[in-house]
Amino acid sequence: MATPPIPVSFRGTRLFDVRGPIGTLSTTERAAAIETRLMLAAGQRGAGPPAVRAQRRTGVIEIFAGEQFVMSVTPADAAPLGRTAEQRAADLVQVISGALEREFVERSTAGLVRAALLSVLGCLAAWATWLAIHFALRWLEGLWRRRVAPAVPGETGSALRMFSEQLGDVLAALARGARVLSGLVLVVFAVGYALSLFPWTRDVAATLDTEIRATVRGGLRAIVEYLPNLFYIAVLALVFRVLVRFARLFFERVASGQLRIEGFHAEWGAPTFQIVRVLLVAFAIAVIFPYMPASDSRAFQGVTVLLGVVVSFGSASAVANLIGGLVLTYMRALAVGDRVRIGDAEGDIVGRDAFVVRMRTVKNVEITIPNATVLSGPIVNFSPATRESGVLLYTRVTIGYDVPWRQVHELLFEAARRTPRVLAEPAPFVLQTALDDSYVHYELNVHIREASLMSRILSDLHANVQDVFAAAGVEIMSPVYEAHRDGGGSTVPRAGARTVG
């Protein structure tokens, strides 16, 4: 069985082939040994390249470069080429001499300067080429924006205009990708060209060129085979993007009040669009997934399953809060700016998102409450009433039977009239809620508009109740106080009296 020839290369250039073993060396080992000896021969110092000569020995012809032995030529090397050993040796002497002479010239000062200048010119040429590609793509993109897109018939927001806009965005993205890709290709070629000019890096350039060629061929083959799937993905992505754009315009009009749907409130527009967008994106991923490269590989499927498990175990509370936020939105239970009571906390809603509600309490402390927690208990919202008839604020007093109830009513009404921000309409009213053994329970009810000032208004109302009852000489009875007093004095403050405590 004939041994296949093995090439011998020097500085990335293929010089000749060896066609058989010699001694204990196989053909491959023999080629590697010759390449090593050529490098040693090229490293010899001298005023010029080493002289290459052939010298006959018993049964073989040996080739030397200066004092460095390079190789042996046997009849087995020459016979497949129809040459004698002497003729083959003469041919190889010329080839090796030419390679060493080029090495000497390229390693000289003039050769290195020439290589440096050529490498700089190559880099400048690559840069100029990239600039030309960049400005050409910019010009084409501008031509589309200025001439083609405005010429599309239809009103703004129409299906055809929206499709042209989306197509323009896709073309702009492709142009950006082309600029990046062309830049990378030109950089690789410029580096490879510069490396090929210097003798010490020419073999690196040859390896790089071989790898690039193999990569480009494989990439082009893969792209050509993948083009049908890529076309499907591009069309589906464009269709779903147009659908998302339609949904955005529709729900923006609903949220702004331009489009009214019976039973669908305007504040539902923004969250509903977010839900629709998520569903469209999820559906698009499900439709596009089979056309993705390596989508049927076990590795891709394993990563997908792992991500699903991680999301399932790690997002239980997040999903609960997200669903709670959606329920709160469609319940219309609260909005930013409302005065509410959630559990033991009372204050104004200063913000809300998909996961939490932020409240600023009456003590100016901000509390962050998860949506799931908000949804788990009752929500008292004072603000909706303020936009209609006003929030009903009330306070209770206990007055003895010795004071006529009509007088008590009038005094309570006077306290309400003195209190700022208490509405005259609807008018305040008093309820007698209980008849105890020693006193009557009176409840004063007033209406206010500013739910955020409930605490301040109630405090002012209490102060006015005390002032009005004290001026009329009427005691505000307390069961505990009544049990411990000796009956010798009144609880009504003396005029001008000051209490120290």
Same domain, 413 and 372: no
Q: Residue type for 498, please? A: R
- Using alpha carbons, select from 448, 255, 461 the residue that is nearest to residue 339: 448
User: Residue 193's domain spans which residues?
Assistant: 118-254
Are residues 362 and 468 part of one domain? no
Is residue 200 pLDDT above 80, yes or no?
no
Residue 315 lies in a domain: no
Q: Which residues on neighbouring strands pair with residue 430, listed in sequence order?
A: 444
More confident residue, 196 or 410: 410
Q: At residue 500, does pLDDT exceed 50?
A: no
Q: Binning pLDDT at 50, 70 and 90, where does residue 312 land?
A: low
Distances from the Cα of 376 to the Cα of 157, 367, 398, angstroms: 43, 17, 37
CA–CA distance from 6 to each of 15, 30, 47, 62, 69 (Å)?
11, 9, 33, 19, 20
Question: Average pLDDT in the 375-386 region?
Answer: 76
Q: What is the pLDDT at residue 45?
A: 74
Which residues, 6 or more positions from 483, have their beta carbon under 8 angstroms from its beta carbon?
none
Cα–Cα distance, 155 to 39 (Å, whole number): 74
Shared domain for 146 and 92, answered yes or no, is: no
Edge-to-edge strands of the sheet including 339-342? 366-370, 356-361, 345-352, 339-342, 379-381
Task: Judge contact between 338 and 348, C-beta under 8 A.
Answer: yes
Q: What is the mean pLDDT of residues 243-261?
A: 81
pLDDT band at 418 (very low <50, low <70, confident <90, very high): very high
Query: How far is 322 from 370, CA to CA, in rounded Å?
Result: 9
Q: What is the pLDDT of residue 501?
A: 28
Residue 183 lies in a domain: yes
Same-domain check for residues 209 and 335: no
Compute CA distances 11 → 98, 353, 445, whole Å. Answer: 13, 66, 101
**What's the confidence (pLDDT) of residue 315?**
58
State whether 397 and 364 are in the same domain: no
Residue 277, in any domain of the structure: no
By the 8 A CB rule, do 11 and 202 touch?
yes
C-alpha pair distances (Å), 410 with each of 403, 404, 415, 442? 12, 10, 9, 12
- With contact defined as beta carbons under 8 Å apart, do 168 and 145 qualify? yes
- Residue 262 falls within a domain, yes or no? no
Same domain? For 235 and 123 the reply is yes
Greatest mean pLDDT range, 93-97, 202-206, 271-275? 93-97
Q: Is 205 domain-assigned? A: yes
Q: Which of 378, 319, 374 is nearest to 349 (CA)?
A: 374
Average pLDDT over residues 391-420: 91
pLDDT band at 284 (very low <50, low <70, confident <90, very high): confident
Q: How far is CA 10 from the centre of its chain?
A: 50
Q: Report the SS3 class of residue 317.
A: helix
Instruction: Give the closest residue to 329 by CA, choosing from 273, 262, 258.
Output: 273
pLDDT for the residue numbered 400: 85
Residues above pLDDT 90, as percent of the chain: 11
12/89: higher pLDDT = 89
pLDDT on residue 151: 65
50: three-class secondary structure by DSSP? coil
**CA dihedral of 401, 406, 407, 413, whole degrees rounded to 10:** 130
Q: Which of 140-144, 423-427, 486-490 has the highest mean pLDDT?
A: 423-427
d(CA 3, CA 21): 8
- The answer to whether residue 285 scores a pLDDT higher than 50 is yes
Q: Residue 345 sits in a domain of what CATH number? A: 2.30.30.60
- 452 DSSP 8-state letter: G
Q: How many helices (H) and strands (E) does the chain have?
A: 14, 13
What is the structure's pLDDT at 497?
45
Q: Which of 254, 269, 298 is the last residue of a domain?
A: 254
Work out how many domains the chain is built from and give that number. 4
Considering the domain boundaries, does residue 431 fall inside one? yes
Range scoring the smallest mean pLDDT among 257-261, 325-329, 347-351: 325-329
Same domain, 128 and 241: yes
Residue 466 binned pLDDT confidence (cut-offs 50, 70, 90): very high
Name the phi and psi angles at 468, rounded to 5.
-65, -45
Q: Quick check: pTM over 0.75?
A: no
144 in the same domain as 226 = yes
Are residues 434 and 341 part of one domain?
no
Residues 6+ apart with CB under 8 A from 480: none
- Distance between CA atoms of 335 and 138, rounded to whole angstroms? 47
Residues 132, 91 share a domain = no
Q: Which tens digit of pLDDT belongs to each residue from 65-84? A: 888 888 988 888 888 888 88
Tokens of 420: 């700022």
Q: Strand, helix or coil at 426?
A: coil
Owner of token pair 């009009």: 253
214: CB partners within 8 A, 6+ apart? none
Structure confidence at residue 488 (pLDDT): 54
pLDDT band at 374 (very low <50, low <70, confident <90, very high): confident
Q: What DSSP character marks residue 144?
A: I
Final residue before a domain boundary, out of 46, 80, 107: 107
The per-residue pLDDT for 415 is 94
Judge whether residue 433 has pLDDT over 80.
Answer: yes
Write down the pLDDT at residue 499: 36
The residue that leads in pLDDT, 290 or 91, is 91
Q: What is the pLDDT of residue 407?
A: 93
131 and 215 both lie in a single domain: yes
Render pLDDT for 16-35 as a digit per residue (tens, 0 to 9).
888 888 888 888 888 899 88
Q: Determine the Cα–Cα distance for residues 198 and 205; give it in Å rounded to an integer.
A: 10
The pair phi, psi for residue 136, each rounded to 5°, is: -65, -45
Distance CA 443, CA 416 (A): 12
Question: 163 and 141: one domain?
Answer: yes
- Whether residue 15 is predicted with pLDDT greater than 60 in this model: the reply is yes
Average pLDDT over the chain, rounded to an integer: 80
Q: Which two tokens stand for residue 309?
A: 């498990």
Alpha-carbon distance 30 to 16, whole Å? Answer: 13
325 half-sphere exposure, CB direction, 13 A CA radius: 20
pLDDT band at 159 (very low <50, low <70, confident <90, very high): low
**Is 50 exceeded by the pLDDT of residue 464?**
yes
Q: Which CATH number do you get for residue 450? A: 3.30.70.100
pLDDT surpasses 80 at 47:
no
Q: State phi, psi for 263 to the nearest 5 degrees.
A: 85, 0
Question: Which of 69, 87, 107 is the last residue before a domain boundary?
Answer: 107
